[in-house]
Amino acid sequence: MYPLKNGQLWPRNQWYVAGWSNEFDEAPIERTILGERVLLFRGESGRATVLAGLCPHRFMPLVKGARSGDRIECAYHGMTFDGDGVCTKGPAGAPPGGATRIKRYATLEQGPLVWVWMGEADAADPAKMPDTSRCGIATDGWRADPNGTMHFAARYMLMVDNLFDLSHIAWVHVSLLGKPTLCDQPVAVSREGCILRADRHETGPVDDFSRYLFPESVGPIQQTLGTELLGPGLITAVGPWVREAEGSPLVGKDWGQVQFVHVITPETATTTNVFSLVSRNFRLEDEGLTAALCAQNKAVLAQDCEVAGLIEAGLNEADTMSELSFRPDHGAIEARRYIQSLIDAEKAQ
């Protein structure tokens, strides 16, 4: 399915975020992740639990059931499953029967997020967890503020495209961010292990936004605006990252960086949940700055949400085979290639 090959939608054997830590509560909720309906709850043991969302007896949604301890009892005929998905009671008092179970998903709780492995639980690979220290989540010297969940009526890959497309900032976000001259700089794409980066750099006088963030900056400054794919479900927008440049009396001074962290979890083939955080490594006690950056991030995301929804709605009519790409699309094209390579590697296993 566009823009991937052969009807593929996303890599499956990966960690995605199932929800915020505080969404895992005694009362189960349900969510669709990678097209699978799942049940999220926190049982008596305190473990964030993700199980299949439908009862295998007559497919009653388990979210309508009752949780007791670490177990969930179906509301239709009382079939019961423990936190590992093992059936402990059959329907209407029948014995549970052999190896009856529902799918259990491996989870990892980290700071404000609960990650879920969407492949087989026994194959869950902690080594594939994205390196969240690069975007300041649960990292010394940083703060990462959760900034809500936004539902996009657009496929997962449109989000990947959008986040690796640094050019659209000067059009879609012009009302909020102006037209940063940084957007005119060439994009440098690089790969470091499983991390894909697209960067733009610029050296010049201190601009309004940098002065707002770093009032003591003198300039000239070097600014970096970039995107880092830390995992298929985690893309962070770095920027600006500001350092004093050659010609400044403070040359070499690193003022810090702000990151707009996008945790993207495919929902269905054409919808996506985006959990967002704003992180930074400067002015950590400044709650006013936090509020301003979070408000800006929400407004920017709402603009992206509108654009992505419009593109998704038009894809049925588009001849996607004749898509035109130009030099500034370099970063987004590389991101597509990378996601495709993850899917291809999965298929080859």
Q: Is 165 in the site for Fe ion (CB under 5 A)?
A: no
Question: Is there binding between residue 39 and ligand FES (CB under 6 A)?
Answer: no
Sheet holding 221-231, edge to edge: 143-152, 271-280, 254-268, 234-244, 221-231, 195-204, 188-192
**Angle CA(342)–CA(343)–CA(344) in degrees, nearest 5?**
90
Residues in region 248-277 near Fe ion by CB under 5 A: none
Q: Which of 37, 57, 101, 283 binds ligand FES (CB under 6 A)?
A: 57
Q: Which is closer to ligand FES, CB of 37 or CB of 298?
A: 37
- Compute the half-sphere exposure of residue 138: CA atoms within 13 Å on the CB side of its CA: 9
Which residues are bridge partners to 49 per DSSP? 41
Q: Is 2 in the site for ligand FES (CB under 6 A)?
A: no
Q: Where are the alpha helices (DSSP H) in the chain?
A: 156-163, 169-172, 174-177, 208-213, 287-314, 330-348
**Which listed range, 25-33, 189-197, 299-307, 311-319, lies at the site for Fe ion (CB under 5 A)?**
299-307
CA–CA gap between residue 187 and residue 165 (Å, rounded): 10
Provide, rounded to whole angstroms, the least separation between the CB of residue 77 and ligand FES. Answer: 3
Number of amino acids touching ligand FES (CB under 6 A): 10
Alpha-carbon distance of 305 to 273, in angstroms, equals 11
Single-letter code of the amino acid located at 206: V
The answer to whether 188 contacts ligand FES (rule: CB under 6 A) is: no
The contact pattern for ligand FES, residues 59-78, with x = CB under 6 A and - = no contact, is -x-------------x-xxx
Figure out which of the listed residues 224, 304, 305, 339 binds Fe ion, where binding follows CB under 5 A: 304
In whole angstroms, the minimum distance from the beta carbon of 79 to ligand FES comes to 4
Span from 57-65, 113-121, 299-307, 324-332 in contact with ligand FES (CB under 6 A): 57-65
